Amino acid sequence: MSQTQNHLFCFGLGFSARTIAKRLQAKGWRITGTTRTPEKKHALAEQGFDHVVIFDRDRCLDDASQTLHDVTHVLISAGPDAEGDSVINQHAADIAAMPGLKWLGYLSTTGVYGNHDGAWVDEDAPLSPSSPRSEYRVAAERAWLDLYAEQALPVHLFRLAGIYGPGRSLLDTVKAGKAKRIDRPGQVFSRIHVEDIASVLEASIARPNPGRIYNVCDDKAASPAEVTAHACALLGVEPPPLVPFEEAGLSPMGRTFWLDNKRVSNRRLHEELGVELRYPDYKAGLASLL
């Protein structure tokens, strides 16, 4: 099949999905996908995505068999909820019936590992999610892997670390005057630039290995306070004072991100997919965004 015949369908044209979609679109791929509201559909059209349909838990695809009939690659970035994965719930049979499906990627999160007190985790580490949101991800991963095992769907799982990129980084937070430096000794997070997510997905599409799981993060986990201080230095502003975690005034949602402390290994994406990250650490990533 020639490259111009490749057709990517994205369930959820969010930040990461749009990045890989734009890259493939520039190479002649056909791109279609979903969004949740007419307003977002209009915004996506202004970004060059003209073939977008409405989809969410309460609204399935209209005429799914026709919509998906010539799709060759599927990317799922729509997140699950307490009721499960909405794509599986509504369209598992339609996806299984797709005649030309070569690759299916599911974007999960490193939150499925839970807390490991700063220790390293790889794709074989036990899953111990610390929040309901991460528990939903674990359940969704299992459901997609079940479809791989039972129906031979070409499923690939990608566990993404904290995503940043143009318009969505600590540089923007600092500029907006909303940056905090929270003092919690020993706490580290892993991150990934959105363009490197696209590179990993492209590499997997080129080397499909159904049933495989990949951690998608850069080479260096770091403390949030360290990254904030570096962003301030790049912008030439004084960093905010260190604030003890207990006094940081985080929202309940914000606090859940601090439940987990781990270093995520990305060895598999290097060794199996041959990916060389464009932004191997936060310093390279923030410098490019500056």
In this predicted model, what pLDDT tens digit does every residue of 225-278 receive, in sequence order? 999 999 999 999 999 999 998 888 888 888 888 889 999 999 999 999 999 999
- Report, as an integer, the average pLDDT of 85-114: 96
How many Å apart are CA 137 and CA 267, to the nearest integer?
22
- For 47-51, 61-65, 248-252, 264-268, which range has the lowest pLDDT when averaged over its residues? 248-252
Contact 172, 160 (CB under 8 A): no
Q: What is the DSSP letter of 130?
A: S
Tokens coding 56: 């969410």
pLDDT for the residue 4: 47
Alpha-carbon distance of 174 to 17, in angstroms, equals 26
Asked if residues 183 and 244 have their Cβ atoms less than 8 Å apart, the reply is yes
pLDDT of residue 26: 96
List of E strands, 77-212: 103-109, 120-121, 155-160, 162-164, 181-183, 191-193
Closest CA to 15 of 85, 79, 82: 79
Would the pLDDT of 290 be above 90? yes
Q: What is the predicted pLDDT for the residue at 1?
A: 36
By percentage, how much of the chain surpasses pLDDT 70?
Answer: 99
pTM comes to: 0.95
Helix, strand, or coil (residue 27): coil
Rounded Cα distance between 45 and 35, Å, is 11
**Once rounded to an integer, what is the mean pLDDT over residues 173-184?**
93
What is the token pair recorded at 189?
């997070």
Q: Please give the pLDDT value at position 2.
A: 43
> Mean pLDDT, to the nearest integer, of 155-164?
98
Which residue is listed with tokens 């781990």? 262
Sorted by sequence, the CB contacts under 8 Å of residue 49 that are 6+ apart come out as 13, 18, 21, 31, 33
> What's the chain's average pLDDT?
95
What is the Cα gyration radius of the chain?
A: 19
What is the set of domains in the chain, with CATH numbers?
Answer: 3-165+192-218+264-278 (3.40.50.720)
Residue 256 vs residue 26, higher pLDDT: 26
- Tell me the residue type at 249: G
Mean pLDDT on 189-202: 98
- Other Cβ atoms closer than 10 A to 236: 6
Distance CA 65, CA 106 (A): 20
Pair 174, 181: CB distance under 8 Å: no
> Residue 3: is its pLDDT beyond 60?
no
H-helix or E-strand containing 10?
strand 7-11
> Residue type at 182?
I
DSSP states of 153-182? --EEEEEE-EEEBTTBSHHHHHHTT---EE
Q: Give the other-Cβ count within 10 Å of 185's Cβ.
A: 7
CA-to-CA distance for 49 and 69, rounded, in angstroms?
A: 19
pLDDT for 13 beyond 90: yes
The strand pair at 181-183 and 162-164 is best described as unpaired
Residue 116 has pLDDT above 80, yes or no: yes
What local confidence, expressed as pLDDT, does residue 246 receive? 87
